[in-house]
Amino acid sequence: MNLHGRDIKIFTANSHPALAKVMAEYLGLPLGKSEVSRFSDGEISVNIGETVRGSDVFVVQSTCDPVNDHIMELLIMIDAFKRASAGRITAVIPYFGYARQDRKSKSRDPISAKLVADIITAAGADRVLTMDLHAPQIQGFFNIPVDILLGAPILSGYYLKKIEEQGNQDNIVVMSPDVGSIARARNFATTLNVPLAIVDKRREKANVSEVMNIIGDVDGKDIVIFDDMVDTGGTLCHAAEAIKNAGARTISAAATHAVLSGNAIRDLENAPIDELVFTDTIHLPPEKILDKMQILEVGHLFAEAIARIYSDKPLSPLFKRA
């Protein structure tokens, strides 16, 4: 492609090359020639194997585990493109790490999401493209444009197809796993045209939650627990246990980002959850994939967004469809 004097190139670091390849193939482009490796002392080495002078460069990197390594790879690649006279650099970050550190919860806490935003900007990024920021206000931490794609249309498309096949819409209830997720769960329930229920819990400390009570009717229902991410799985597993004890018939859980840290895989495997539905914003190795998981592909959505950014067209049409 060549538009307004610039060609378009897609590069990837090491966090999710397969997703970057899907994006490039969807656009009919080869993946850019680059290598991100380590020196013997652990420092990151970046080698760009083709010219990017004047190009519209998109560098794909989810900042997932190991978070700090992947952030540094992204920063060094951006710096390399900047110094190689790229025309415009877009950081494509399907999963944005540090997004939960968006405010001070107690005295002397850092606001790490703001720091990461500043570093990405300082490295030379002209724009950021991401999906389902845990805290959407992080957009305001950047002094460059930030486009946030939504995973809900892809996830809702999966469930709408199941409803059409099974004809069980009257029995489905969407569940918010906590009060903080009510808005996104309500929108998801509205899309599926089903009722909303809420798990009210009290969090005693980070990554530990205690379920208090359930608001809504779940007895004999097919429950879909909806959230933006699953990290340790504690919130999800506790919610599933409470819902099962309240008489739910089946339990499905859907989230955009499968972080799955700590003992998440073991706990999710043992939890009373019949199905787990994630998108592939984060690469999952074989040992983190369970038989009851469904992984939905988001590369085509990012590819369409990249094409629209390159062509200076609005992204809003992408928010309402998978």
Rounded distance between C-alpha atoms, residue 61 and residue 80, angstroms: 15
Query: Is 201 labeled as catalytic in the residue annotation?
Result: yes
The Cα 158–Cα 44 span in angstroms is 39
At residue 206, what are phi and psi to the nearest 5 degrees? -55, 135
3-state secondary structure of 32: coil
User: Which residues have CB under 8 Å from 269's CB, separation 6+?
Assistant: 290
Q: Inter-axis angle of helices 299-310 and 17-26, to 10 degrees?
A: 60
Left, alpha or beta for 75 (phi > 0: left; psi -120 to 50: alpha)?
Answer: alpha
Q: Which residues contact 250 (CB under 8 A, 6 or more apart)?
A: 222, 223, 274, 275
Q: State the pairing for strand pair 34-38/44-48.
A: antiparallel
Burial category of 41 from C-beta neighbours within 10 Å (exposed 0-12, middle 13-18, buried 19 and up) = exposed
Mapping DSSP to helix (H, G, I), strand (E, B) and coil, where does residue 227 land?
A: strand
Structure tokens at 77: 């690649």
Distance (Å, whole) CA 117 – CA 111: 10
Instruction: Give the bridge partners for 143, in sequence order.
Output: none
Question: Considering 9, 21, 33, 201, which one is annotated as catalytic?
Answer: 201
Q: If we measure between CA atoms, which residue out of 242, 289, 236 comes closest to residue 267? A: 236
Measure the CA–CA gap between 284 and 259, rounded to whole angstroms. 9
Catalytically active residues are 201
